[in-house]
Structure formats: C-alpha cells, structure tokens
Amino acid sequence: MSKPHDMVREAELLAAEAIGDVIEHWGFRRVLGRVWTVLFIAAQALPAAEIGERLQISAGAVSMSLNELLRWGVVRRVWRPGERREYYEAETDFWKMISRVFDERERQLSHSVRERLEKAEELLRRAPDSPEARVSLDRVSRLLAFVKLAQSALDGFIKSRTLDFSRFGDLVRFPLRAVRRPRV
C-alpha cells in the first residue's frame, strides 16, 4: 500500500503529464504544462528546486520554464519573509490565462490571416474577369467572412467570460473563475 504522500506525488505527475500533452498539442513546450500543473496542484507556492525535484528535471529546465511561464502571466513569484529563495505559484484563474494566450497568439494570428485574405480579395477584385477569378474571389471572400466571424466570436467569448453549456444540462459543471487557495 502506498503512503498518502506518495499517492499525491503520483497523481501530481499523472496530471502534469496529461496537461503537458495538451500544452504541447497547442504548440508550447511540454515542460511548461508540466511545471504549471505542479504549481497549480500544490497546496502552497514552491521553490524552483522543489519543482525540479518533483518533475525530475534539471535546474536549467525549471529556470527556463518558469521564466517563460512568468512572461505568459500564468505563474507569479511569491516572496516569503525571511526566505532567500523565490517561490512560485500558478495563476488559478483560467479566464486570465486563456485571455492572455488568445491576446498574444490567436488574436495576432487571426489579424494576420484577415489582412492577407483582404489583400487577396482585393487582388482578385482587380483581376481581369474570368470564371477562375470569379470562383477564386467567391472562395476567398467566404474564407474572409469566416475569419471575421471567428474574430467576433473570439472577442465576444473573451469579453463576456461566458460559455453556454446549458445544452449539456448537469453533465457539465466547470468552474472557470479562480478559487483562491488559502495561504499556508
């Protein structure tokens, strides 16, 4: 039979691996998801050395990961009076994290895509009339309309901070607002 502490660490690693997979799928480095998860699950802020120990990764990998997570705003430094070491804790408000990533990545990409499709549409409008040009214009215009709709939906999603799960009934109960952990 495992000790309760061992079971907690095993669960922590399992969750860290799962979130690491998701983060990697989204185009980030897997270790970022693993480090964030350990901090998210932890009952209190952790020093870098303990994060490395829990995940069995080098001090350099922990340091690089923490710096990147700090830059994204999904981890913050916590100072403890009388301590020399820096401690870290995860952002627990999913909306803040999602909004930040959307603002920094997805929104930037959607604006770039929109600008290029608008240029393509303009070129096709000025192209000599032909069946090929008409079909191409129609399809580029449809792509552009979809991108505009997606941008509007994304902006509305971020601003309203709501998702409508009502059609799923009681199957979905997911707290998207942060629940602050008690200070230890």
| Partner residues linked to 47 by β-bridges | 87
pLDDT in tens, 112-141: 999 999 999 999 999 999 999 999 999 999
Establish if 59 belongs to a structural domain.
yes
Establish if 65 belongs to a structural domain.
yes
Same domain for 149 and 105?
yes
Mean pLDDT of 96-110: 79
* Residue 153 confidence class, pLDDT cut points 50, 70, 90: confident
**In total, how many domains does the chain have?**
2
Range of the domain at 143: 94-164
Which domain-ending residue is among 65, 90, 115?
Answer: 90
Establish if 174 belongs to a structural domain.
no
| 44-to-40, 62, 168 alpha-carbon distances in Å | 9, 17, 34
**What's the CA gap between 44 and 183, in Å, rounded?**
7
Same domain for 46 and 105?
no
pLDDT in tens, 17-47: 999 999 999 889 999 999 999 999 998 999 9
Same domain for 12 and 83?
yes
User: Residue 110 has what pLDDT?
Assistant: 85
pTM for this predicted structure: 0.70
